[in-house]
Amino acid sequence: MEDEYKSAKYYDKFLHLFVWRIRKKILQIVKKNQYKKILDVCCGTGNQLKILKKHGIDGTGIDLSKAMLEVAESGKIKVKCHVQDAENINFNDGSFDMTMTTFALHEKSHSSAKKILNEMIRLTRENCHLIIVDFSIDNNTFFLAKAGIKFIESSAGEDHYKHYKEYVASNGLDTLLEDSPLKEVEKHYFAFNGVVLKVLQKTK
Ligand SMILES: C[S@@+](CC[C@H](N)C(=O)[O-])C[C@H]1O[C@@H](n2cnc3c(N)ncnc32)[C@H](O)[C@@H]1O
């Protein structure tokens, strides 16, 4: 399968302004909850894991893109990531007290995103947390944010854009979370209400 993230080395620079407040909020949540075993699912360049590591917090990442993982394993702060499919992750049930995924679900088909979410639930210990960050496009989203996100997504390739449009049309994250054993404990909006961060507790 072709790696759609070949330009990985520019990825963090390109997105920095858009994501830095979100990365900082995740750092705050991690510090507050003192998670010890953290898994970043679809970790990409490992940018979030590097920020955590800079503050003395270790985590593990998985991603399918070798180009993204090369960036994760280079630079001043390196993080250990594995090439693994998020739909079928090779760790035991309940191995982590926090699993997170940021900006990955919207680019998958509904069935793939559901499989990824189910894997995160499986890997998270009971009563522990999942953090999910993704687009949230609705009437509360500022029109310029809608247009900017649409532009970024339409430049990301045909399948990616198709899945993004389906994700938005089907009410994205809320639909994915229906019938899941997850209770929302925190919610924050970013990018003029174009992005949502949810902290969810695994209840059973
Ligand atoms: C938009 S990037 C987000 C990366 C990172 N989470 C961030 O916030 O910058 C989506 C990532 O999901 C990864 N990905 C997509 N499908 C995957 C799968 N089935 N298994 C593992 N990684 C996957 C891609 O390789 C890419 O690195």
The whole-number pLDDT of residue 11 equals: 76
Which of 11, 14, 42, 52 has most ligand 1 atoms within 8 Å of CB, for mutation?
A: 42
The finding on whether 104 has its CB within 6 A of some atom of ligand 1 is yes
Mutate to test the pocket of ligand 1, among 10, 47, 63, 101 (most ligand atoms within 8 A of CB): 63
Q: Which atom of ligand 1 is nearest to the CA of 87?
A: 19
Residue 89: CB within 6 Å of ligand 1? Answer: no
CB of 12 sitting under 6 A from ligand 1? no
Cα(162) to ligand 1 centroid in Å equals 16
Per-residue pLDDT at 39: 98
**How many CA atoms are closer than 13 Å to the CA of 137, on its beta-carbon side?**
19
Q: How far away, in angstroms, is 140 Cα from ligand 1 center?
A: 27
pLDDT of 9 = 79
Tell me, what's the pLDDT at 2?
Answer: 65
In angstroms, what is the span from residue 27 Cα to ligand 1's centroid? 19
Nearest atom of ligand 1 to the alpha carbon of 44: 27
Q: Report d(CA 194, CA 163) in Å as an integer.
A: 17
What pLDDT score does 79 carry? 94
164 lines ligand 1 (CB under 6 A): no
Q: pTM of the predicted model, to two decimals?
A: 0.95
- Could you report the average pLDDT of every consecutive run of 10 residues in the chain (204 residues)? 71 81 98 97 96 97 94 91 97 98 96 98 98 96 95 91 96 93 97 97 91
| Domains of the chain (ranges, CATH numbers) | 8-202 (3.40.50.150)
Per-residue pLDDT at 1: 58
Is residue 87 in contact with ligand 1, taking CB distance under 6 Å? Answer: yes
